[in-house]
Amino acid sequence: MRHWVLITGCSTGIGRALVPLSRAAGWGVVATARQPATLAGLPAGEDLRILSLDVTDVASIEAAARACADLPLRALVNNAGYGQVGPLELLRPEELRAQFETNVIGLHSMTNAFLPLLRREPGARILQVASMLGRLSIPLAGPYNASKHAVVALAETLRLEIGREVAVVLVEPGAIQTEFRETLTRAWGDLPERARGTRYEGILEKYKTIRKDRSERHALDAETCARKILAALVAERPPRRVVIGKDAFLAGKLKALLPAAWWEAILRRAYGLR
Ligand X SMILES: NC(=O)c1ccc[n+]([C@@H]2O[C@H](COP(=O)([O-])OP(=O)(O)OC[C@H]3O[C@@H](n4cnc5c(N)ncnc54)[C@H](OP(=O)(O)O)[C@@H]3O)[C@@H](O)[C@H]2O)c1
Which amino acids are annotated catalytic? 144
Comparison of 34 and 208: residue with beta carbon closer to ligand X: 34
Query: What stretches of the chain show up as alpha helix (H) in DSSP?
Result: 13-24, 58-67, 93-100, 107-118, 142-162, 180-187, 191-195, 200-218, 222-234, 246-257, 260-270
Output 156 or 179, the one with its CB closest to ligand X.
179
CB of 263 to ligand X, least distance (A): 20
- Judged by beta carbon, residue 188 or residue 262, the one nearer ligand X is 188
Residue 133: closest CA among 85, 96, 61, 178: 85
Q: Which of 182, 243, 239, 212 is nearest to 12 (CA)?
A: 182
> How far apart are CB 196 and ligand X at their closest, in Å?
27
Residue in 76, 18, 71 with CA at minimum distance from that of residue 42: 18
Beta carbons of 57 and 33 less than 8 angstroms apart: no
Closest residue to ligand X using C-beta atoms? 13
The minimum distance between CB 114 and ligand X, in angstroms, equals: 14
| Residues near ligand X (CB under 6 A) | 8-15, 33-35, 53-56, 79-82, 102, 106, 129, 131, 173, 175-176, 178-180, 183
DSSP state of 80: -
What sign has the CA pseudo-torsion 207, 210, 216, 222? negative
Q: At its nearest, how many Å lie between ligand X and the CB of residue 272?
A: 20
The residue among 51 and 191 lying less far from ligand X, judged by its C-beta, is 51
